[in-house]
Amino acid sequence: MEDLAEVEYRDLDGGITSTPGFSGTGINCGIKDCKRDLALIYSENPAQLAAVFTQNQVKAAPVIIGQELRERGLAQALLINSGNANACTGQEGMENARQTVEWSAEALGIAPELVFPASTGIIGHQLPMDKLKIGIEDIVNSLQPAGGKKAARAIMTTDTYIKEISLAVEIGGKEVIIGGMAKGSGMIEPNMATMLAFLSTDLNISQPLLQEALSTAVEESFNRITVDGEQSTNDTVAILANGQAANAEITTKDDDYYRFLTVLKIVTKHLAQQIVRDGEGATKFVEIEVLRALTFADAKLVAKAIANSKLVKTALFGEDPNWGRIVAAAGYSGGQVELDRLEIAINGQQLFADGLQVAKEEELWDLLAQDEIKITVDLNLGQGRARVWTCDLSYEYVKINAEYHT
């Protein structure tokens, strides 16, 4: 197996429609007053489909349809609306979701089972079907190869900027493109969030391996972020692989598979971190790394507990290096922690070791003044290691979520 750390790739400075064979766009269909609220991504030919969904037991109507499509493993179009989650809307909501799929399929001239739906926005409201019917007709006629940025803007809710990426890598002697877009700013964690992410590639790969690669990449990216510890009903990550790169089909976990997986992880990690950086009201991007835990599971438990601690997050906002809150969160995380072995550092400055504070008070001044913070927790118990990305919790977060419904 080649050294995957040396896999070379190019940044195309694009998004989901940078991939050959894909077009897209985003329009306003009237769900929102004036902003884009309907996105469409279309592949010239049916593509292999892989997807990962929320683990919330309460799932929105489009998530249920998406799960059905994943079982078939094929799709040709992604239809996404923002401003309305179509969650907790009963049988009418399910029928409405299926109707939008049928309208889209008819307008595109493809089978309904090739249209993958997704929604994000306010829970409990029925979709405005009269507006969507007209919007779907309009958006199909607006598709363009360079329309990915418009689509990325149309899926936003409380996001303050679009999130997209496209990379090129050589696989099997062919140039392969991976493009993507995502939305998310709040209700981020656990196991994805009120976030949507859609990816495209022209790689020729079997559906089972595409699903395995996506699941692996999601576990190491979207499942390692948290803004507020709130889990949504609509979380979806999906990828379409249309095979137009014409590489020999990847059917085994050979070097070509791992080259693809390596770059796919880069794409998903970039999008995941963009979501954290755009966390509702966030002023700081925070990486929490737990080292030498007894197991990987313990490392992840400790990292997530610290990342989700409201006391830690507000201390970060207040630029108070309160290591006591970090110690407390590690202790209640459920992972194995021994106080006399625990070491904590912030931005390389050791604060706690051997059960005591080791930093001098003057060394703590301005330690959290920068926009990017790294908290390192060394448990000194084993080989387990995990990283989680989060942000601080500010006054603005409360304001945004207090006013979101209106």
Report d(CA 379, CA 336) in Å as an integer. 8
Burial of 329: CB neighbours in 10 Å, binned 0-12, 13-18, 19+: buried
Residue entry with tokens 């493809």: 110
- Is 194 in the active site? yes
Assign residue 30 a region (left: φ > 0; alpha: ψ between -120 and 50; beta: otherwise).
left
Spatial distance between the Cα atoms of 305 and 149, rounded to a whole number of angstroms: 35
Taking the CA atoms of residue 198, residue 203, residue 204 and residue 210 in that order, the dihedral angle to the nearest 10 degrees is -40
Q: Is the link from the previous residue into 190 a cis peptide, with omega within 30 of 0?
A: yes
Other CB atoms within 10 Å distance of the CB of residue 137: 15
CATH top-level class for 4-277? alpha beta
> Nearest to residue 366, comparing CAs of 343, 391, 346, 394?
346
Q: To which residue do tokens 């050959």 refer? A: 20
Question: pLDDT digit of tens for each residue in the chain (406 aa)?
Answer: 344 567 999 999 999 999 999 999 999 999 999 999 999 999 999 999 999 998 888 899 999 999 999 999 999 999 999 999 999 999 999 999 999 999 999 999 999 999 999 999 888 999 999 999 999 999 999 999 999 999 999 999 888 899 999 999 999 999 999 999 999 865 444 443 458 999 999 999 999 999 999 999 999 999 888 765 556 678 899 999 999 999 999 999 999 999 999 999 999 999 999 988 887 778 899 999 999 999 999 999 999 999 999 999 999 999 999 999 999 999 999 999 999 999 999 999 999 999 999 988 888 888 899 999 999 999 999 999 999 999 888 877 777 667 655 4
Q: How far is CA 270 from CA 10, 156, 214, 337, in A?
A: 14, 17, 14, 31
Smallest CA-to-CA distance from 155 within 124, 128, 180, 191 is with 180
Contact 31, 84 (CB under 8 A): yes
Name the architecture of domain 285-403.
Roll (3.10)
Catalytic position from the list 194, 226, 376, 390: 194
Site of tokens 């950086």 = 277
Q: In the chain, where are the structural domains located?
A: 4-277, 285-403
- The first and second tokens of residue 106, run together, are 């008819």
